[in-house]
Amino acid sequence: MERRTGIIAALDTTNALNIAREIREYVDAFKVNYPLVLSEGISVVKELSSYGPVIADFKIADVPHISAMIAEIAFENGAKAVITHGFTGSDSVKAVLDVASRYNGEVYVVTELSSAGGQEFMTGVAERIVEMARNLGCHGLIAPATRPERIRKLRELAGNMQILSPGVGAQGGKAAEAIRAGADFVIVGRSIYEGNAVENARLLAEQLKEVI
């Protein structure tokens, strides 16, 4: 993913298209998740693509042939990247990567969720997930802005992979702190789209200029 502002907008809102059009100059990419795609249809990915690269956050976590089918649908509809889980093991992640390579697409692997529950099981295996993602040639990782010390640790093991970091604002994480800890991008949803999205995105971009 090419970095200009370091911000990826998570558009978990039915007003996604309007917001994307308004904030595109302040963000590097848009991220869509199930709430939007299940309510608006997969065509929203293509529609959003006209405003910038779209990351399909389907947190793919299935047996390899189904994981591949999900990735195929995302890329076929214009996604530039997909987010997959890593705890499924290497066969499923590899299946997603194989699809991505046919579309010149990117694959980002979840290490541990940014929520408190992410620590219950996932923190314990996150380092191994990073190692697997790196060995397979994945493009990057998803790591929690709510726990910058974990970003720092995972960054050490990540090699050339990029780190995208959700959990900023509404979940308590701080954007600049996540970048300083080693994230390449922050993923921000509610703190942008709730309230005045343009102003929120502009201020965040301004704030990040100092650390990017």
Toward ligand NUP, which CB reaches closer, 17 or 188?
188
Catalytic (active site) residue 46: no
Quote the CA–CA distance of 40 and 130 in Å, as a whole number.
33
Select which of 28, 46, 59, 153 is catalytic: 59
Catalytic (active site) residue 59: yes
Identify the CA nearest to 49 among candidates 78, 16, 28, 8: 78
Q: Which residue is nearest to ligand NUP (CB)?
A: 189
**Which residues make Cβ contacts (< 8 Å) with residue 160, sequence separation at least 6?**
none
> At closest approach, how far in Å is the CB of 134 from ligand NUP?
19
| Beta strands, E only, the chain | 7-10, 29-32, 54-60, 81-85, 106-110, 140-142, 162-166, 185-188
> At closest approach, how far in Å is the CB of 135 from ligand NUP?
22
Quote the CA–CA distance of 32 and 211 in Å, as a whole number.
26
Helix (H, G, I), strand (E, B) or coil at 137: coil
Quote the CA–CA distance of 18 and 71 in Å, as a whole number.
26
Toward ligand NUP, which CB reaches closer, 105 or 166?
166
Toward ligand NUP, which CB reaches closer, 102 or 117?
117
Annotated binding site: which residue ranges?
12, 31, 57-66, 114, 166-176, 189-190
Catalytic (active site) residue 184: no
Select which of 57, 80, 153, 184 is catalytic: 57
> At closest approach, how far in Å is the CB of 39 from ligand NUP?
14
Residue 11 CB burial class (10 angstroms; 0-12, 13-18, ≥19):
buried
Q: Which residues bind ligand NUP (CB under 6 A)?
A: 10, 12, 33, 57, 83, 110, 113-114, 142, 144, 166-167, 169-171, 187-191
Toward ligand NUP, which CB reaches closer, 65 or 154?
154
> Do 59 and 12 touch, CB atoms closer than 8 A?
no
Annotated binding site for substrate: which residue ranges?
12, 31, 57-66, 114, 166-176, 189-190
> At closest approach, how far in Å is the CB of 76 from ligand NUP?
21
Catalytically annotated residues: 57, 59, 62
